[in-house]
Structure 1
Amino acid sequence: MSAIMATGISDEDILFRLKNVLRDTFEIDPSRVTPETHLFTDLQLDSIDAVDLAIQVQDMTGMRIKPEDFKNVRTVNDVVATVRSLLDR
C-alpha cells in the first residue's frame, strides 16, 4: 500500500484505508469497523497488535510515528485523528 498524501484526503478516505489495514493485518471484517469501534474491547487487539497497527499507519502515511502520538489511541476514530494530525504537519 502506498503512502497517502495530505492533499485532498478526507477522514472517510483514511477510514477506508484503515479498514483495509485491519482486514489485511488482523483479519478483521471491515463491516465491524466504525469510527466508534474500540480497538481493544471491540476488536480484541492487544498491545503487540497496537504496535503492528502503528507500523501499518507509519507505512500508510510515510511518516514516522512517535510513541506519544499513538499512546492515547483507543478507538478507530483516534487512529483517523492521529493519521490526520500526521498528514497536517
Structure 2
Amino acid sequence: METGISDEDILLRLKEVLHDTFEIDPSRVNAQTHLFTDLELDSIDAVDLAIQVQDMTGMRIKPEDFKNVRTVGDVIATVRALLTR
C-alpha cells in the first residue's frame, strides 16, 4: 500500500478483510464499530486480523501495537501508523 491512501480506502479494505475472513457483513462496519462487542470477534480473531493487516501493509505488527485495538477506527489508525513509519 502506498502512503497516499485515505482512511476511507483503509476502511474499505478492512471491510473486505472482515467479510472474507470472518463473513461479517460490510454494512455493519464503520470506524466506530467495536471489534469485540459489535462484531463478536475474540482474541484469536484479533490475531487473524493482525495478520491480515500485516499482509495488507507489508509490514510486521508488534503484538503491543495491536493489543490496544478495540474499534475499526483503531485498526485504521494502526494501519496509518505502519504506512507512515
TM-score by length of 2: 0.98
Over the matched positions of the two proteins, sequence identity in percent amounts to 84
- Deviation per CA, 1:8-57: give whole Å up to 9, x if none: 10000000000000000000000000100000000000000000000000
Match of 1:44 among 40, 46, 49: 40
Gaps of 5+ in 1: none
Structure 2 counterparts to residues 12-51 of structure 1, below 5 A: 12-51=8-47
Distance 2:46 2:70 in 1: 10
Gaps of 5+ in 2: none
| Deviation at residue 5 of structure 1 after TM alignment | 1.7
Match of 2:2 among 2, 5, 8: 5
Distance 2:13 2:77 in 1: 13
Structure 1 runs of 4+ aligned residues shifted over 3 Å read none
Distance 1:38 1:9 in 2: 23
Give the superposed CA RMSD. Answer: 0.4
